[in-house]
């Protein structure tokens, strides 16, 4: 919901200074409870896109929302949460005739959400690239994950009954399938040459990395926290990383020796993993 409202602000559908629909109307539109609406509005308030977020009256789009949105994609952008920064960066990358995106991540949730923005513009009749090539490295289903894991741990031989692992695998497979389906749809609907490839890593990546068009690297740490969640009707405490909120640091080719070197070394690292110790990855249904 926050992603959709953010996209409306970015596109100008919601103008600076304009009042948002009431929380009741938003709840009806998105089919959610009022609590979910307030959470989405609080996210946008924290991003400085909304003001006057209260229970009693509709929120207002910040008068400087356009400047704030622009700052997410500038070469000197300050680190921002993945959900805020990744969408504008990937949308900008899609303005090139040849789009190249490489990613290392835990489930590809953030990547799937972010790529949805330029795809919506293309389907709405906006400019489109001639070719899109996406490569994604994800953890293998055959390894012992470092995270997410139950706080109490799982002994050897019990991986098959680990609900936290099953949930991660289901998310990894589902997000990968959605990402691949949405991108390949560009081939049949718009005649774009599309390639989407996945490979499996033999370790849990402690960081996430997105490489855009050979000229930009976006880097973030997976910071672990202890949290509780209900999985298969059972409440569990786990060590997990909320990747969508990880702070992304942007490095750009040509923005100085440090940035240029980081982009180049990131590409070397990704290609080395892709060509050596990674293995074919199947987005099969969860199971062991």
- Domain CATH code at residue 230: 3.30.870.10
Neighbours of 64 (CB within 10 A): 15
- 286 lies in a domain? no
Q: Pick the closest to residue 236 from 155, 163, 171 (CA basis).
A: 163
Q: Quote the percentage of the chain above a pLDDT of 90.
A: 45
Compute the residue count for the chain. 288
Q: Which of 39, 61, 83 is the last residue of a domain?
A: 61
Q: What percent of the chain has pLDDT over 70?
A: 89
Instruction: Tell me what pLDDT residue 15 has.
Output: 86
Q: What was the pLDDT predicted at 67?
A: 64
Judge if 9 and 83 occupy the same domain. Answer: no
Model confidence at 157: pLDDT above 50: no
In the 8-state DSSP scheme, what is residue 284? P
- Cα separation of the two ends of the chain: 33
Tell me the β-bridge partners of 80.
Answer: 248
Q: pTM of the entire structure?
A: 0.74
The pLDDT value recorded for residue 266 is: 97
Verify that 86 and 163 share a domain, yes or no: yes
Examine residue 116 and state whether it is found in any structural domain, yes or no: yes
Per-residue pLDDT at 287 exceeds 80:
no
Domain co-membership, 102 together with 215: yes
Q: Is the pLDDT of residue 65 over 80?
A: no
Query: How many domains are there within the chain?
Result: 2
- The answer to whether 103 and 136 are in contact (CB under 8 A) is yes
Give the range of the structural domain holding residue 48, as residue numbers without chain letter.
1-61
Q: What is the mean pLDDT of the chain?
A: 86
* Higher pLDDT, residue 52 or 238: 238
Out of 53-57, 127-131, 207-211, 273-277, which region has the weakest mean confidence (pLDDT)? Answer: 53-57
From 61, 80, 95, give the residue that closes a domain.
Answer: 61
């Amino acid at each position: 919901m926050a992603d959709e409202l953010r996209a409306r602000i970015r596109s100008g559908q919601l103008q600076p200074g304009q009042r948002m629909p009431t929380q009741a109307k938003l709840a009806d539109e998105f089919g959610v409870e009022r609590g979910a609406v307030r959470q989405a509005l609080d996210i946008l308030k924290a991003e400085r896109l909304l003001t006057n977020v209260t229970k009693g009256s509709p929120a207002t789009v910040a008068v400087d929302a356009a400047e704030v949105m622009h700052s997410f994609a500038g070469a000197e952008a300050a680190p921002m949460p993945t959900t805020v920064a990744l969408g504008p960066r990937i949308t900008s990358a899609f303005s090139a005739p040849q789009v190249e995106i490489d990613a290392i991540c835990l489930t590809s949730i953030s990547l799937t959400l972010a790529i949805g923005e330029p795809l919506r513009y293309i389907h709405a009749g906006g400019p489109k690239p001639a070719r899109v090539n996406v490569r994604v490295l994800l953890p293998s289903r055959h390894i012992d994950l470092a995270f997410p894991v139950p706080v109490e741990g799982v002994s050897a031989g019990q991986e098959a009954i680990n609900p936290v692992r099953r949930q991660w695998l289901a998310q990894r497979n589902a997000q990968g399938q959605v990402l691949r389906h949405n991108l390949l749809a560009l081939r049949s609907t718009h005649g774009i040459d599309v390639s989407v490839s996945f490979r499996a890593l033999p370790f849990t990546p402690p960081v996430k990395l997105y490489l855009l068009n050979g000229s930009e690297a976006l880097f973030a740490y997976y910071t672990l926290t202890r949290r509780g969640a209900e999985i298969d009707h059972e409440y569990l405490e786990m060590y997990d990383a909320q990747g969508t909120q990880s702070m992304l640091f942007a490095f750009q080719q040509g923005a100085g020796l440090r940035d240029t070197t980081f982009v180049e070394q990131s590409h070397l690292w990704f290609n080395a993993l892709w060509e050596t110790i990674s293995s074919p990855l199947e987005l099969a249904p969860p199971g062991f």
